[in-house]
Amino acid sequence: MPVTENSSQSDTSQLSFDDFKKIIIKDYRIGYESRQASLIGRREVLTGKAKFGIFGDGKEVAQLAMAKTFCKGDWRAGYYRDQTFMFATGMTTLTEFFAQLYANPDIEKDPASAGRQMNCHFATRTIDENGEWYNLTEMMNCASDISTTGGHMPRLLGLAYASKLYRQNKELSYLKKFSVKGNEVAFGTIGNGSTSEGLFFEAFNAAGVLQVPMAISVWDDAYGISVPAKFQTTKEDISEILKGFQREEGTNGYEIFKVRGWDYVGLCETYEKAIAICREEHVPVLIHVTEMTQPQGHSTSGSHERYKSKDRLAWEDEHDCLLQMRKWMIETAISTDEELDKLEEEAKIYVRTCQREAWNELEGQIKTELTQTTILINNLALSTEYSQQLLDINKVLTECIDPARRDVMAAVRKALLATAHEHNDARNELLNWFNTENVKNKDRFNSKLFTDTPYSPLYVPIIAAEYNNDAKLIDGREILNACFDANFTRDKSIVAFGEDVGAIGDVNQGFAGLQARFGDLRIADTGIREATIIGQGMGLAMRGLRPIAEIQYLDYLMYAMNVLSDDLASLSYRTKAGQKAPLIVRTRGHRLEGIWHSGSPLGLILNALRGIHICVPRNMTQAAGMYNTLLRGDEPALVIECLNGYRLKEQLPSNVGEFTVPIGRAEVLREGNDITIVSYGSTLRIVQEAAEDLEVLGIYVEIIDPQTLYPFDLDHICAQSLQKTNKLLVVDEDVPGGGSAYILQHILEKQNGYFSLDSQPRTLTAKQHRPPYGSDGDYYTKPSHEDIIEIVYDMMAQTYPDNYPPIY
């Protein structure tokens, strides 16, 4: 992994004027090259070589100033206008910039995303192919960007909070790859329009409370796409309305700065002062950069001439930051008009060279594949009765302008379909090529939803729970408490936080007494702010810590769903396993009482959170085993504990902090020959109770607990059970077609369970509405003991009507 050099400018008062000039001229060249990249990039989209373009033109000078204060070990979490900053810090190159624009899936060419993200979505690789961390203190770090413009703010909070923990918790000094005494600053950037989003305000407030080294730069060009600031922000000025956050003597808060985006000297001075405070004092700062421009408009999807007045466009032309910097350089004798003309011409040639290199690299690969394909299809045309059809397919392929891989593969698939009834060597050769390329394309486009390293929780050794002869029968919450106690003792990098987690040990006492034992840096209370609780955990996990972020109830996971889905769940995929965040999200749900305290929205969760392990333990012993597994792995997970299980009695394992429950492995809880019932969580207990009564009726139920829904039953235990029982019932307390549909798809389609059935598979779910309050509300809304007995009875009656006459 190459180490990026620190481009920070040290005390310029010690420089000679010539050295000072060289620094300024180098800055201008980087900014000018960045502008040319924006201009060329837009043309490449409009000519069809790239799909979409969004660029950082107009923001160059502010980013040059920000880059001077960015050091090794620091982190950036920004948005898609920061290309100049990335060039200035050396975290990306112009050739890589264009490779991403063209969606080159080669990780060597686009190390940020391997072509999986649109342009200007930056990232540095923080782990190697084996999941081992690089030394992040020796490199500049960029958390992977997302397109949701305020969505990165919660993660930014966590990246900054990590520095606070590394500085204040001396027990973390052994983690030398991640911090040098907590001196690292987390730099965030956001457009002025996106400061209207709730995630911005939530993260902004949380950083002020926590007092973390977070530096937020607001790029203010007075618009959010076409919507002017008067419709975006009270008083049309974000720093003005945030003045209440300005710290005063004896209070926490921010240092707030305001500077114009075309004022190179003012920007350099402002960033030097702001980041020094942020880094040294661990005080968050806001740098509001005003009077910025956007010469090409928002993106390639439209022109800003449609919504900006002629006066505004004229003002933007005059106040273009590069034009203003150029004028200042000439006025102060740093350079001459002729020297800058020459520099600009050289810069244009260099950028165009980088663009051509990136395009030729990808085009060369595709043309090679196209040539191979046309030869193979031509060879097949010589030995088939469908010769003309194949020649027509080749003609269309060879006439493609700027062909893509999809054009090549579509031609091959058409040729194979046309000759499906034939068998000859030429067709076999084409088929072999197709199969080989499919493997490559699966890696290019469909791999690394999880990091899949040797540290994956799927590979954590299975250790069975052990019990002494006099094992105590205690509340389930006490088993969790003992599990957390053991793990916090074992691993100093584990931290936990959430609403009511610290002082009272969470609302169900899983952390009771542990803050007093391990301190408030490791087990902490937070405000009511679910989205930034997740972001706080994600940022910590990206910096080498092992966070457990608690969302008090599953129903309130909704408030964090965009961060979980857009950011955490997609992190491994969108970086092609270049970054990881092994965050454990702890929550509780399923059966209780009331519309907002009985949630089981597993359909929503399963659809939105691919890339996160979804664990649904049936009791607290199983939950403890899952935590033991996940804390030894390196992938994110959501653990949903049973709300009504904390005071149910369970035996305390003697190895409570060591035993592991495997991820993705189902368990047969009861054997039977008549019907297979698959369920999970709290409803599973009702299924087990119903099975006792069904046995009295002569019906022997096989009960399977999948334990985790993602991944689901990797050993195909469900399908094996169906080979014996031939009947399937899925009992799920989600809405109809929610989690049950997902489970059926896995069993019937992925596991081929359909072929073992002798009757229609059934589901028993909750009603379509949320449960009303009270025990009666639960009974009439979610699957009950009687519901289970009656649906099983009815399923048996379809096969044996004489043995099971109608009940009603």
Interatomic CA distance for residues 674 and 724, integer angstroms: 8
CA dihedral angle for residue 330, residue 336, residue 341, residue 345, rounded to 10 degrees: -100
Phi, psi dihedral angles at 158 (to 5 degrees): -65, -40
Q: For residue 499, give the amino acid letter.
A: E
Angle at 15 between CA 12 and CA 20, to 5 degrees: 80
Among 614, 615, 619, CA closest to 643: 619
Interatomic CA distance for residues 440 and 442, integer angstroms: 5
Task: Indicate the DSSP class of residue 133.
Answer: B
What count of other Cβ atoms lies within 10 Å of the Cβ of residue 355?
24
Structure tokens at 504: 């009272």
Interatomic CA distance for residues 307 and 303, integer angstroms: 8
Residue pointed to by tokens 């029968």: 473
587 strand-pairing partners? 640
Phi, psi dihedral angles at 656 (to 5 degrees): -60, -25
Phi, psi dihedral angles at 86 (to 5 degrees): -65, -40
Structure tokens at 784: 């009950």
Task: Indicate the DSSP class of residue 165.
Answer: H
Q: Coil, helix or strand for 393?
A: helix
Among 471, 470, 473, 469, CA closest to 650: 473
Among 660, 685, 760, 744, CA closest to 709: 744
Contact in structure between 292 and 323 (CB atoms under 8 Å): no
In 444-502, DSSP assigns E strands to: 473-475, 494-498
Q: Indicate which residues carry an active-site annotation.
A: 597
